[in-house]
Structure 1
């Protein structure tokens, strides 16, 4: 259910969208707003000032996780959720704690795991996270589930947040506040660390190639000055979008993606056949560094995709950060591609735009080279100990 909600309601509400049912109104014009972009900007500005404020040297990953947790939580349930410090800590830690428990259980056969799991300390930590989610969301889910369905022809205020979309989408056994609270934890798992990692990689690349800083800042100041913090403005940040996509290309989250087990025999045009039970995967990192696809693939070019967008008359969208394709597998591909990637793109751009406008960013004194990524199995992670210096700009 939460996947479908991300594909439909979340993506739709990034655009200008009515905040009321409009059967009784002749025009939608007076009832349109940037449903999520304005609040995202407000939250990004708030948490940057809270976490950084004056000139500071901060641990990049830890700081950005908290800022992304705040902006993502604003989408989940408004400021009541995004300013709840206990929930924000749960949102920041839940995904890593889930991975820890999964790694502890992995060596055991599947039928044994239910008997081992209750004795793990990590399970107790996950239980505490669930209690926090129940405290934050359960009463609100109960309230909205109990509301009468909208009456045709009667305008009704409609909340724009994940609580509302899940409530509207829930059917059968999913129409249960406990189940929906679990889903909010899944949402935090999907929304926080992947976006935080992408944001940190972009900041590392920006500090390692500071020659891009002024051009990106000028674009942000010009576009935001003309259009304000709106979705149209965010979509107009083409150079920033390109820099993000190039950083993502160079720093894949995983070496391989789209892991699947064959359920029915697959026969290729050359006659080769994959039998049932075969495991397949796509080498996303190798594709991202394939010289047949990208010129000088091991060289960072922050305007690579901007130049591609400007040089083609059709299908320029193929070179946008959130666009997937055979040559760009970071978000997956096809119907199983990341359903929240459009929100993630807007969220990351919003934080970066606020940083570029309000701060100069650099490595600590004496450091000029980007920290090397950490490889663990098939995972690729940014160095979580790396510090960055944020210096407020005089404006």
Structure 2
């Protein structure tokens, strides 16, 4: 963690509280001392020149405003936009105080190294607490996670199509079956299962990717750590550590981590033993081509935990990718004519090129449909969250204090000034933009711009977005060609769950599906079209 006022405050409170038990006299003294520390630190902090949009009333403490934002974030953000327009302002969110910058500022901060994404994530997900170590790995001295994704995962895109498609065949049959009669399924849960299987195939290799215990752990850790971190936002900062030891949510997270080590460690040790034996006998080293091996190469001898690494990769892949697939499937099921058009493109491309990297690139309508699903319902309306490691003055005079949290308002993604009829799901929207030279460079699913910030923008843009794009396209090829889809009764496309500024559709939404005869044999064609 960077040495910021926020970091110092967090470390001081953690040290004070780490060995105290709830209800003891020592804890009372600790709380008083913690309060004095906070007051002293605030006294010496640089004052912000920007207004606090939702200040507590005279009889309230800031925590109550953070709690209010957790349940009414969208309304509060909508109201503050009207008040401040394109001017920066501060907002008390479930994560604490955040300096909110207008969408155009994404260009200004995109390459600011002093605005630390890793530090923000580590802080948001309590990387200093036992069980949450995967989030602290982002600040590993060797930057092993970031290097693995940028260098190795992206480099191997040309060879991951076949294992992904092979696993999609197995996973689709396992999750959906081959029944030609209409059946219902919770689409969110199904996409979570599907993405966990596909991602594990690339991260862990063929031997472990179908290990049900591991698949359950990755899904559970993703859900449990997110839920636990969210609930800890409701706890005053100085009580987070004792709460984490008493909370059943956090206990589940710690157990998930122990279970992960139990599964992964013997596997890693066996690999290392095979390599050592080969070296001692002078025989060729066994070859492995998955994220376990890539991490061994990129760590360059710097110690790290393979199980922690795998959980972090799984969280990053499963949470966002399964959400994108869920949103896309719901939108498409609501417009059956879109499915027909996408099937035609998929079949035409596969018959011409197979299902390799180049073929996926040429599925332009599918690419547009995915990007449109991201646009119409962003995961969050405060994006590019960063933590300032030093004082920064941006062009135009915007001052960001050291230790300050920063976020960009993603309102551009639903702006009628940028997107005609932004409330409508239009699978052709980004295809049209792609055909216009003025907008072509920001119309691809993996493109980033201030007008579409789902993947971030600049040096901290999601490095795994190229893999995620290929993974989602392969998944949709199997889902759309092999099954018919329609909305179940009661399914809704209206955002119903809002946590802070995060939005989601009803997680209980169901789709109806039935097996159909696909126009092309995906696996058969893939074998003859390796790249």
Scaled by the length of structure 1, the TM-score of the pair is: 0.86
Q: 2:483 corresponds to which residue?
A: 359
The one-character-per-residue Cα deviations of 1:184-231 (angstroms, maximum 9, x if unpaired) are: 111111111211110010011101222211110001111112222211
Q: 2:151 corresponds to which residue?
A: 8
The one-character-per-residue Cα deviations of 1:339-380 (angstroms, maximum 9, x if unpaired) are: 21111111111111111111111012x568634442121111
Measure how far apart 1:116 and its partner are.
3.5
1:378 is aligned to 2:501: yes
Instruction: Find the aligned partners of 2:343 and 2:319 in 1 and give their Cα distance.
Output: 25
Instruction: Find the aligned partners of 2:285 and 2:443 in 1 and give their Cα distance.
Output: 40
Structure 1 residue matching 2:256: 3-state secondary structure: helix
Q: 1:57 corresponds to which residue?
A: 184
Which of 424, 447, 460 aligns to 1:336? It is 460
Label 1:172 to 1:203 Cα distance change in 2 as closer, same or farther (>3 A). same
Measure how far apart 1:92 and its partner are.
1.4
Measure how far apart 1:295 and its partner are.
2.6
Given that 2:153 and 2:464 are in contact with CA atoms closer than 8 Å, whether structure 1 keeps it comes out as yes
Given that 1:145 and 1:167 are in contact with CA atoms closer than 8 Å, whether structure 2 keeps it comes out as no
Measure how far apart 1:156 and its partner are.
5.8
Which of 230, 238, 247 aligns to 1:120? It is 247
Moved more, 295-304 or 203-212: 295-304
Instruction: Find the aligned partners of 1:275 and 1:132 in 2 and give their Cα distance.
Output: 41
Q: 2:66 corresponds to which residue?
A: none
Moved more, 125-134 or 270-279: 270-279
Instruction: Find the aligned partners of 2:237 and 2:268 in 1 and give their Cα distance.
Output: 33
Structure 1 residue matching 2:156: 3-state secondary structure: helix
Q: 2:417 corresponds to which residue?
A: 292
Structure 1 residue matching 2:221: 3-state secondary structure: helix
Instruction: Find the aligned partners of 1:143 and 1:114 in 2 and give their Cα distance.
Output: 37
Q: 1:239 corresponds to which residue?
A: 365
Given that 2:161 and 2:355 are in contact with CA atoms closer than 8 Å, whether structure 1 keeps it comes out as yes
> Unaligned 5+ residue runs, structure 1?
16-34
Measure how far apart 1:75 and its partner are.
0.7
1:394 is aligned to 2:521: no
Aligned positions, number? 368
Moved over 6 A (4+): none
The one-character-per-residue Cα deviations of 1:110-145 (angstroms, maximum 9, x if unpaired) are: 565344423322233223322332233212322444
Q: 2:292 corresponds to which residue?
A: 163
Scaled by the length of structure 2, the TM-score of the pair is: 0.65
Give 1 or 2 for the bigger CA radius of gyration: 2
Given that 1:373 and 1:381 are in contact with CA atoms closer than 8 Å, whether structure 2 keeps it comes out as yes
Label 1:113 to 1:374 Cα distance change in 2 as closer, same or farther (>3 A). closer
Measure how far apart 1:3 and its partner are.
2.1
Measure how far apart 1:317 and its partner are.
4.3
Structure 2 residue matching 1:40: 3-state secondary structure: helix
Which of 384, 388, 392 aligns to 1:262? It is 388
Moved more, 184-193 or 112-121: 112-121
Given that 1:174 and 1:180 are in contact with CA atoms closer than 8 Å, whether structure 2 keeps it comes out as no
Structure 2 residue matching 1:221: 3-state secondary structure: helix
Structure 2 residue matching 1:311: 3-state secondary structure: coil
Structure 2 residue matching 1:355: 3-state secondary structure: helix
Label 1:128 to 1:296 Cα distance change in 2 as closer, same or farther (>3 A). same
Which of 345, 348, 354 aligns to 1:228? It is 354
Structure 2 residue matching 1:324: 3-state secondary structure: coil
Structure 2 residue matching 1:79: 3-state secondary structure: coil
Q: 2:440 corresponds to which residue?
A: 316
Q: 1:19 corresponds to which residue?
A: none
Label 1:264 to 1:309 Cα distance change in 2 as closer, same or farther (>3 A). same
Measure how far apart 1:161 and its partner are.
0.6
The one-character-per-residue Cα deviations of 1:133-176 (angstroms, maximum 9, x if unpaired) are: 223321232244453699xxx9866321110111111134425x
Given that 2:492 and 2:509 are in contact with CA atoms closer than 8 Å, whether structure 1 keeps it comes out as no
Measure how far apart 1:279 and its partner are.
3.2
Measure how far apart 1:7 and its partner are.
1.1
Q: 2:110 corresponds to which residue?
A: none
> Unaligned 5+ residue runs, structure 2?
1-143, 519-531
